Amino acid sequence: MTAPAAAALSGVAVVTGAAGGIGAEVARALVAAGLPVALLDRDIPALWELAAELDAAGEGVLAVATDVTDSADVDTAVAKVEGELGPIAYLVNAAGVLRSGQAAELTDEEWDITFAVNAGGVFHTSRAVARRMVPRRRGAIVTVASNAAGTPRMAMSAYAASKAASAMFTKCLGLELAGHGIRCNVVAPGSTRTPMLTALQGDAAERASIAGVPDAFRLGIPLRRIAEPAHIADAVLFLLSERAAHITMHDLTVDGGAALGA
């Protein structure tokens, strides 16, 4: 993140899904910008590992084991963050899961957990934080969705639908909170080098993403490369920062052109 954008950030930040992938990279970028950061995740070993890493790089890092699908657990975590770090100025909803498979073959459990994390988690955490931001009339929320939220993908119906739900919820929230000076935006990554992508098919998933899969009606990536988590983190920090002070309810796609600007 460039120094001018980083300098435009001030206050306590919360990152869900902080233990790995895009969430971890966002947390690193926020700590590098000098912010106190609360790390929320239910993967406790990975959470403590990241907290130890970031403690060495900055100050005011708080790890809170949290299940974003549980609204009471989220409320408790948010209260703990404000009690130990101070008023929350920024929220990044980065928690997410992917259950792939043909729509007709998905189980109820796969559908339910996908929505519980990807949509329910955004609702629970945004609601808990927004309730505290409103009286202060300050804050910014960014939800990490996906370019699949607006582009149909075979074998990704639950994921795409849940990300579409989280994106539209965030925009509706932004409309409701605009009068309180609170901005809500969406970052929509395409294929990004994270454990979620490699879990699909390893290196083959990256090659297929770049080249495209005609049989699945999937275009490739015009920039001919997979995104790095840092590319997504840069977009998130921009939308949180005062450099985006007049941007709200926006969906910023970071996919190397894979969705052709859709």
Q: Which residues are catalytic?
A: 159
Residues 6+ positions from 117 with CB-CB distance below 8 Å: 68, 69, 95, 96, 97, 162
Of 41, 1, 37, 35, the closest CA to residue 21 belongs to 41
CA distance linking residue 135 with residue 160, whole number of Å: 34
What are the φ/ψ torsions at residue 142 (nearest 5 degrees)? -125, 130
Strand-pairing partners, residue 184, are 141
Cβ contact 259:181 at 8 Å: no
CA distance linking residue 97 with residue 103, whole number of Å: 16
SS3 content of the chain, % helix, strand, coil (to 5): 55, 15, 30
Cβ contact 196:96 at 8 Å: yes
